[in-house]
Amino acid sequence: MITFIKLSIKKFFSLFGIGFYRISQRDDVNRILSPLLHNSRENANLLYKDSDFIDNYCSEERLCFYNAIKDLLVEKQFNLNDKKILDVGCGSGDLLFVLNKTFSFSSISGLDFSKEAIKIAQSRVSGGRFFVHDIYDSVLEKFDFILCVEVLEHLENPKKALENILSMMEGEAICFLSVPNGRIDTYIGHINFWSPESWKQFLIDTCIEHNVEVGFFSDPRFISNYTFIKNKKL
């Protein structure tokens, strides 16, 4: 009952662009200092080495979000079995862990610029390939399905990052992106804040040779825009 009341209150205030978020004392210090510092490789390594951070990172709300992504993929009837999947900015690998319970991928890969995050992902996702990689550097390998979830809002140059992601798509590959709704998101640690409209325009300007489908999660616990990107058929 208490959880229901909390969700109802959050949903009501979200109509007016007001969000409520829980932050830790340590995270708040990083936010005050600088979004650039918060999103640095050094800070990411410190966070992923912090046992308290890891214990709280994959919260019930985050797992619900990951399951919402899984349900959306099922709803869209994408045939992801026997496909090569890549998570760009995979962090601790929890999203891949959730998806791997539903789909039978031919291979699972993850990239992150934090070596400490990669260590955790390797321990959590059996059979996965995980690499320390800078999102601004290109990757020659191609994939059937690419995820980049809640990452681009942390970047100084999201356009270059997205162009690199698109270069890893081939044939009938699909890319799934999500970013917070910048009209509601108040997290100072983020560098970019896209409204649904500005997010769509950013994609149109960047994904010139691709088909783009945009949407948003209606669950009041999630404030994210999402996007499916496909290559245009010749």
Rounded to whole angstroms, how far apart are CA atoms 206 and 216? 19
Amino acid 19: pLDDT: 45
From the list 54, 120, 57, 135, the residue with the least C-alpha distance to 89 is 135
Is pLDDT above 90 for 227?
yes
| Side chain identity at residue 229, one-letter code | I
Residue 87 burial (C-beta neighbours within 10 Å; 0-12, 13-18, 19+): buried
**Predicted confidence (pLDDT) per residue in 45-62, tens digit:** 999 999 999 888 888 899
What mean pLDDT comes out for the span 161-181?
A: 96
Query: Confidence class of residue 233 from pLDDT cuts 50, 70 and 90?
Result: confident
**Predicted confidence (pLDDT) per residue in 130-169, tens digit:** 999 999 999 999 999 999 999 999 999 999 999 999 999 9
All structural domains of the chain = 2-231 (3.40.50.150)
Amino acid 136: pLDDT: 97
Q: What is the mean pLDDT of the chain?
A: 88
Provide the token pair at 184. 């509601």
In terms of pTM, does the model score above 0.75?
A: yes
Is pLDDT above 70 for 30?
no
**Predicted confidence (pLDDT) per residue in 189-222, tens digit:** 999 999 999 999 999 999 999 999 999 998 888 8
